[in-house]
């Protein structure tokens, strides 16, 4: 099954299913000498794990990583880093009723169409539990980037019709994001988001929203025209995450109604470098980083697994109804934030390594 690896110089490969023994991630290309221990992976893994609040699925997984290779005497040794996670709280019996039914909004039908079979227990390879591998790899990428002054923060911008007020995305701190279980740095909006999520949960329903991701300290020059533009790889990275249905950066879709004179960011001198007065371009011009903060957003659909009854068909095409049992998030946004941060970090570290290789050769 192709499509399980991401990146060129900093390459991530994942394997595993949610109702199997566990997951494994192989990380190639991490520079040697980086201090790395299990404890470095835990903060982001704990932000992603299930059961962390009443707003998310109550599946109980410790999500404890085991580093099997690539680290010696507390530092990366330049070889492949292998990290393993063991599943401990599977309830495969919750899915026995859907063995012959297609769940609306899921990949059941498309997996059958592609392979002629599927793992119906939690979605198999399409399960969002696969993102545990990405978050672990992203934590390593963040450590590399932090050594070079690059910082990444994500947060919930919108849930349903509730939109947070974020005057300056670059000033948002991790502490502000983690101050509320919905991971929104606007306290007033966060309270309304929580109330909305509780409302849809009681209705046996779900709700979607928007997450905003910000990277500061990114140098100008990252990105490979024409097919590996930084914006293109960011879009691929984030759209590869489960439930993501749209991507935009900078002003995004607002450019459709703007005039060029309104949309252009004017160049100015900023100390020892050249920058722009505004950042409607979201830190990327021509698919190459400009040195301004990278700001992007993704839309997350409502959770497809609902305990209320929905119409569907069986694998043989017979009409039936389905109500998904099990433990599912009424809103995916709170747990999405570390996943989005991870894919932003993995994209940036890969392009940073490619940029550094070119710079070292040219200079």
pTM of the model: 0.95
Contacts of range 192-196, beta carbons closer than 8 Å, 24 or more positions apart:
192/162, 193/156, 193/159, 193/160, 193/162, 193/164, 194/55, 196/159, 196/160, 196/162
Question: What CATH number is given to the structural domain containing 43?
Answer: 3.60.150.10
How confident is residue 127, by pLDDT bands cut at 50, 70 and 90? confident
Question: What tens digit of pLDDT does each residue of 289-333 get?
Answer: 999 999 999 999 999 988 889 999 999 999 999 987 766 789 999
Tokens of 11: 């390459």
Q: Residue 195 burial by CB count (10 A; 0-12/13-18/19+): exposed, middle or buried? A: exposed
* Domains identified in the chain, total number: 1
Nearest to 310 by CA among 129, 106, 119: 106
Mean pLDDT check: name the lowest of 10-24, 93-107, 117-131, 332-346. Answer: 93-107
Q: Say how far apart CA 344 and CA 129 lie, in whole Å.
A: 18
Tokens of 80: 């492949």
Q: Say how far apart CA 235 and CA 241 lie, in whole Å.
A: 10
Which range of residues forms the domain containing residue 38?
Answer: 5-362
Tokens of 89: 């709280």
Q: Say how far apart CA 325 and CA 308 lie, in whole Å.
A: 9
Burial annotation 255-273 (CB, 10 A radius, 16+ → b, else e) = eeeeeeeeeebeeeeeeee
């Amino acid at each position: 099954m192709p499509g399980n690896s991401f990146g060129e110089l900093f390459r991530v490969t994942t394997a595993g299913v949610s109702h199997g023994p566990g997951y494994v991630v192989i990380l190639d290309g991490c520079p040697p000498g980086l201090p790395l221990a299990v404890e470095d992976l835990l903060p982001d893994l704990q932000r992603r794990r299930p059961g962390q609040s009443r707003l998310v699925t109550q599946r109980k997984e410790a999500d404890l990583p085991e580093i099997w290779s690539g680290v010696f005497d507390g530092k990366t040794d330049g070889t492949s880093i292998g990290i393993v996670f063991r599943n401990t709280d599977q309830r495969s019996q919750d899915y026995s009723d859907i063995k012959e039914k297609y769940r609306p909004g899921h990949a059941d039908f498309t997996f059958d169409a592609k392979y002629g079979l599927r793992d119906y227990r939690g979605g198999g390879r399409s399960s969002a539990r696969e993102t545990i591998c990405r978050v672990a790899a992203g934590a390593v990428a963040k450590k590399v980037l932090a050594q070079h002054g690059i910082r990444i923060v994500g947060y919930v911008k919108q849930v349903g019709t509730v939109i947070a007020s974020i005057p300056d995305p670059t000033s948002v701190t991790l502490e502000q994001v983690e101050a509320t279980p919905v991971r929104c740095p606007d306290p007033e909006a966060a309270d309304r988001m929580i109330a909305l999520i509780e409302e849809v949960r009681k209705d046996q329903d779900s709700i979607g929203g928007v997450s905003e991701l910000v990277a500061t300290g990114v140098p100008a020059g990252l990105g490979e025209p024409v097919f590996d533009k930084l914006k293109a790889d960011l879009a691929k990275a984030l759209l590869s995450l489960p439930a993501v249905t749209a991507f935009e950066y900078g002003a995004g879709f607002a450019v459709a109604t703007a005039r060029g004179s309104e949309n252009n960011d004017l160049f100015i001198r900023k100390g020892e470098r050249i920058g722009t007065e505004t950042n409607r371009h979201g830190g990327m011009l021509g698919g190459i980083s400009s040195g301004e903060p990278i700001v992007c957003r993704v839309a997350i659909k409502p959770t497809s697994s609902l305990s209320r009854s929905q119409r569907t068909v069986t694998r043989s095409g017979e009409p039936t109804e389905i109500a998904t049992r099990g433990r599912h998030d009424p809103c995916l946004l709170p747990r999405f934030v570390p996943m989005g941060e991870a894919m932003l970090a993995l994209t940036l570290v890969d392009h940073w390594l490619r940029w550094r290789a070119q710079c070292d050769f040219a200079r």
